[in-house]
Amino acid sequence: MEPNTEVSSYLVVNRVEVLDHAGCSACGRGFSSDPIGEKALVLTLGNSERTYFFCSSCGDNIVSRVESEDARKRYLWDWTVPLRNGHRPH
């Protein structure tokens, strides 16, 4: 089975936001469980204030298709770091 260091959430480094069960909004793949984390594309839609996260391969694909500068401003490359379950009460 999987190692018992289950990842329950991810820290998004620059935005300092913790995600629960982060997955790519395009392909659904979960982000890396690697302790150093993974590059991820963050899309913020201003009016609804919804945020979408994309894995690096989907992000590259998306960014390459963005045509207008205005749309490009909504995208930000960031870094997700998995957080381990380290705060269980004894």
Question: Interface residues with Zn ion (CB under 5 A)?
Answer: 24, 26-27, 55, 58
Smallest distance, Å, CB 61 to Zn ion? 8
Cβ closest to Zn ion, residue 12 vs residue 24: 24
Residues in Cβ contact with 30 at an 8 Å cutoff, skipping those fewer than 6 apart = 21, 22, 23, 24
Nearest CB to Zn ion, comparing residues 31 and 81: 31
Nearer to Zn ion, 26 or 83 (CB): 26
